[in-house]
Structure formats: structure tokens, C-alpha cells
Structure 1
């Protein structure tokens, strides 16, 4: 069974297109078009990431092309106005760069992307040197795991560990990433815990329960099942 990809290093792209501070506007656009990327890390020295230039940074030149911002807008959007007149990566880049480390979890990377509203994150080492890049699509690779792989991990890492001897009375099935635990359960109070642990397995879409309470020999009522 494959180990669950839990860190950025498992999914990141190590071959990264980057630019220097002196890269000119047109060169930046041509590089993005050539490599089909929406943002480029800006490097200094031997590869230290000092910023990122994105399509959004470049489009500011178009936004302000036909209008001159008034005094109020200049004050309110001073950074955007400045970038609209920029011609080099050093002038255009957003800095400091929003980055992650190879050892960060995928959940940490996803939260950073969501919080900072970015699509790609440079991966750096402890010195800030570029190691790779991770994108939204990279983080979604965990959902390509096979149902058989997910079922095996849920069985060994969740069901067997959580329920001990009682685990033999539960079966695990997975269809399109949806996990179903079925059988007899001696301690239904563990269902919310089991649900949380199963959802934490990388690649699981959701989990449902089709169990009977071994203590009362009755079906667990829907209200006792965990809700999203």
C-alpha cells in the first residue's frame, strides 16, 4: 500500500521556472506564456526567493491604461498604481513572497493558498532557497488514490487501531473515494471519532456508517451518525 502523501514534498514540482529581479515586463509575459504558468518566483543571489510576479500584477498595467487614478484612488490603491507603472520583476513582484516548506502538510499548504488567495506557492528550504513549486492541482493529486488503497489504509490506520478486537465485526468499502463502514459496533459513541479520523486520510471524499449497535442489536439511528 502506498503511504498517504502528507507533505508538500510528496506532490510538489521540483522543476521550476523562475526569473531574476531585472527581468523585463515583456520577458515575464513571454515566460508565463511559454511555460503555461500564472505566476513566477523572483530570485536573488544563488536562488533565494524574494518575491512572486503573478498575472494579477501584470494586468494592473491594462487596468490603468486608459484612466489616470485620482488622488483618492492613488492613496487607496497605492501599491496597484505603483505596479501599473512598473517595467521589471523587482518593481512588479509581491514581496515578501508567500512560501511553504517541503515538510509542511498538504492541509497547511491549502490553508495558506486559501488565506492568501494564491494558486501556486514556491517551496523553499530553511535558507529561503527555491526547492520547487506546489499548485492547487498538486494538492488535489491525493484524490487520485485508488479505492483499494484508501480502503486498506482506513482499515489498518483507523478501524483496527480505534476498535481493537471489535474491528473484525466491521467491514470497509470505498467507492469513488466515499468510505462506508458497515457491520456491528459495540461502542457507537466512537462513531464521531472514527468519522474524523477517516476524513483525515488523504484522498477520502467522505464517510458514512451502516452499523448496528451490538449492545442493543438495533440499527444506529441516523441522528447518531456524524454530519458534515
Structure 2
């Protein structure tokens, strides 16, 4: 329960074109505004799947440059192959919480945004992999986790026991557990994205990595606030 609490947050992320301002928690009324990362594509966001495929290495142009994008290097491929299963597990975590009618409404609002955003990014990354001659990674969370085991880069991935605990918990317990587990999951994704931003060569994967860093760091801050006051 969030009673009588007013949290006013001003987060301005100029590089990504996002601002989170004046977020108010007051009683158990309607959910407060969530970070703009979920509703407005930042300037460094990756293109939609059709654009990503059309601008595969050797075709099209890199955004804003007029030049052909560099082919993916080993870091780009490793990032996409590992981040798809990582995202797939976040989507499954969100679905588990959303299936609980007594979960806290502020946490379910966050879970719905995570589910929607990461499903879109899975589509983008699999479009790139197909354009690069790679097999798309399964979006099913269990198959994706098995795939991730063979490709590394699984920072923050939940164990089967942790997923089972989230599935079995009642709504209030699951709401708190979701925040704890998703924070750890996001921290792993941020570390993976930071490595790609530093080592990748392809403009699309690097742009997506920067978007993930900005968006998920914002969500980590929000989850920390929610966890303190549930």
C-alpha cells in the first residue's frame, strides 16, 4: 500500500530525449505517470524490424550518415544472440505477474510496459539476426534460456527456482518479488548493453544498446522507489 506518499522525481535524460518529471504517488488511486522511455522512442532508439532488415550490412544506409552501416562484428552478434533470450525471460516474468489479479497496480503497470517494450525489441533483434544470416532466437522463455546458456552473456537471468517462486507467489508477495528480481535482471541487461556500446561496430545494435542502458537504468530507479514503499 502506498499511503500519503508523494515522490517528486525529475529525471532528464537529454541524450535519449526523455524526461521523467513530477511523479506523484498519492494513496491507492490511479497509477502515476511512468517514465517516458515507454511511450516515446528516444532519439537513439533502434529502428523497427522492417527498417533493421532493410539496412542489413551491405545494404541501405546508416541512420543520419548517408553511409552503409558497418557489418556486425563478434560483439554485435553476441549481443543480439544473448539479449533476445534475456528479454524473453523479462517478458515471461511480466506475464507471470500480470496473471495475478491481486498484484499491486503500480507494479503491474510497470510490468505491462516492460512486456510491451521488450517484445518489440526481440522482434528488432531477430530481424537483424535473420538479415545477418543467423537463425532467429526462440522467444519462448525456456527455449531462450537454453539458447542463452550456449551463447553466454546471461547476466541477471533468473534460475528455474526463482521463476517458479514468482509463479507460485500470491499477488502482494509476487509484486515485491518481481521488483527484486527484475532489478537484478535489468542490472544484467545494462552490463551487457554497456559492453556492446563499447565494443560493437554496427550502428543499429549499438543504438539499441544505448537505448537499453538509458531505459532500464530509469526503470531500476523506479523499482527501487516502489520496493521501498510497498
- Structure 2 length normalisation: TM-score? 0.22
- Bigger relative CO (Cα 8 Å, ≥ 6 apart): 2
- Structure 1 length normalisation: TM-score? 0.23
**Which has the larger helix fraction?**
2
**Which has the larger strand fraction?**
1
